[in-house]
Amino acid sequence: MRVFFNAIIIQIFFSAYIYWRGWQALPDKKYIKIPYTAIYVAELIIYFIGFFTSKHLSFDALHTFAWTGTTWMLFTIYMTSLLLLYDLVKYINKKKKIFSLDFAAKKPRLVYFCTALLLVVAVMWNGNYRFWHPVITEKSLTIEKHSPNVKNLRIVVATDIHAGYLIDKKIISMYVDKIMEQKPDLILLVGDIVDYDAKSLYEQQMETEFHRLKAPYGVYASTGNHEYIDLGEPKDEKILWLSQKAGINVLRDTTVMIADSFYLVGREDDLCKTRKQLPEIMQGVDRQYPVIVMNHEPHRLQEEVEAGADIALYGHTHNGQFFPNNVIMAVSSMIYNWGILPESISSKMKFMYEIPYGYKKKGDTHVYVSSGLGLAGPQYRIGTVSEIVVLNVNFSK
């Protein structure tokens, strides 16, 4: 709750700063400044109503308030950054006289404010388009192991769906359509399938969409950190909804052999207090057969490699979801991989990942970290993609 209050305070300051800079730049005309003020007042009212009365709103109202609030949050972050840049240049120019332009004058303020506004709107429009048009990332892998009854396997992987109030039934329906269009042999959902609570799932009868997921070798899932977010529901409510209502095989530190040909392992998320170590989970696994591991958070990749996994699948990072988080993740990954920080420190930093996004062959293990299909919060992909991963696997022995 403290995090949410901090976020609301930040938004108030950001909104006030943007409003004041716009007020300074706009012409002194009532027909301009009155609507301008009304927009900000209305947005703050919506933000506060959505925050403080969410438990009492209908689903449709909460969906609208959540979408508006998260969109405004992202808008204020980008707009504030650009306006602060202007103020920084103005300050430097005042000290050093680099430019002849008077940055304090009304005209350059207005031109810059309008340009920044158009730029942010254009970037966010493109980001929303990317969210609504997930990409299909295909990868062909060869596993040199014996698989008696399955020689070729088309695995469709989706992580971080975040079904709930923002990723509603309409969006889930689109996701299911796109997954099924790939003609999967096996469907794997690698954690954070549910967003925050199960209430939104029951209200929308979301299970009817998940029931449409079909594959010859089954539909399996592992848990993510959002499955363990506690909002006062009964223990494991979201996980039970997935298994009992949605009909998905949730593997919780469990191993199954499929078609007497390959093993599938589903690990519990790091937040699970009873999470087992991988060697314990795989005690009965015959490693002459292929082994696929689902593990939501891509920390300590060496665990899957040392356990003999042939394919290790992860999500969680969203690749930062929107700029500049993706750049920060890429830089932190370079720091991690270059060994600038001791392993004992870097391995404990939650925001540092050996692979924040994409494919890597690590030892004999094919590793893929997906940027995720859905989103947490704002429905925008800026500098990243929403993706469905298709693995075309060939077993060569």
One domain for residues 105 and 149: no
Chain centre distance of CA 342: 28
Q: Which of 86, 113, 131 is the last residue of a domain?
A: 131
168 with 126, same domain: the answer is no
> How far is 126 from 143, CA to CA, in rounded Å?
38
Q: Do 145 and 61 fall into the same domain?
A: no
Half-sphere exposure of 121 (CA within 13 A, CB side): 6
**What is the four-CA torsion angle of 356, 131, 81, 54, rounded to 10 degrees?**
-100
What gap in Å lies between CA 199 and CA 203, rounded to an integer? 6
Residue 278 corresponds to which amino acid? Answer: L
Show pLDDT as tens, one digit a residue, over the chain (397 residues).
454 555 677 778 888 899 899 988 888 888 888 998 998 888 777 777 766 666 666 777 778 878 888 898 899 999 999 999 999 999 888 888 888 888 888 899 999 999 999 999 999 999 999 999 999 999 999 999 988 999 999 999 999 999 998 999 999 999 999 999 999 999 999 999 999 888 889 999 999 999 999 999 999 999 999 999 887 788 899 999 999 999 999 999 999 999 999 999 999 999 999 999 999 999 989 999 999 999 999 999 999 999 999 999 999 999 999 999 999 999 999 988 887 776 666 666 777 899 999 999 999 999 999 999 999 888 999 999 999 999 999 998 6
Q: Which of 99, 131, 163 is the last residue of a domain?
A: 131
Does one domain contain both 116 and 181? no
Which structural domain range is residue 98 located in? 1-131
Last residue of a domain, one of 112, 131, 150: 131
Joined tokens for residue 71: 């969109």
Strand partners, 292: 264, 311
Say if residue 96 is in the same domain as residue 245.
no
